[in-house]
Amino acid sequence: MQRMRENALIALKAAGRTALNAWVSVGSGYQAELLGYAGFDAVTVDLQHGPYGFDTAVQLLQAISGTPAVPLARSAGGTLAEINKLLDAGAYGIVCPLIDTVDAAAAFARACRYPPRGARSFGPARGLTYGGADYAAHADDQVLSLAMIETTQALEDIERIARVEELSGIYVGPSDLGLALGLGASAWPHPQLVQAIRHVRDVCHAQGKYTGIFSSTPAMDAALQGIGFDLITPGNDAQQLRAGAQQRIQPLRAP
């Protein structure tokens, strides 16, 4: 019998290896495909801040699915309807923003699991095409549910959030967490922010949970890898495009 395509991110964690994740803020299927072939372990389609909607997200997931990278999505919110549609569209994991409480984390986790473990409705569509004929039998164990920790309320409740049974793990949003702590959106490496991030990582790993985080600079990338996050996102596609263009232009602008 054909088995569901395995989530390579789970295998990387088991092997103790850091996964590298690309982030699609530009609604271009070609660009998403290029990132999928660039050496990243995963590519995340961003519906929270990306200037595109669900129809474009499906096309981005299709483009990623033809590459070696695992297709993920950040939902715009935590509704069951949106999360179901993204999983049915073939996302192998959901990053859900603004999970502030244990109740919100539990509701999100349930949206990513079929009954009796959760509340997800059956209708896998592209999930079945990409995942394989027995998708429904194994999806609960292969799909990642990652709750974003980016507020002081979430930070205070992190120990209870990390104990939510069907929650795969967390994904830290350092910019919003820095803002919430009164430090600003570019606070790294402020000791208070570093301490908060380390605390989240330690609590989650103590519960056997997956940990991911967004990073803004190469120095921050290295520091976060040293802290021991399972997945690191080294900037988004727009930042990488801008940085690459500036790197090529600057020598030609020199006097």
d(CA 77, CA 230): 23
d(CA 80, CA 77): 9
Residue 217: both structure tokens together: 């600079």
d(CA 181, CA 231): 23
CB 26 within 8 A of CB 57: no
CA distances from 197 to 38, 100, 151, 154, 240 (A): 28, 15, 12, 12, 24
**Active site annotation includes 138:** no
DSSP category for residue 2: P
Q: Please pick, among 49, 138, 190, 205, the residue that the annotation labels catalytic.
A: 49
Residues annotated as part of the active site: 49
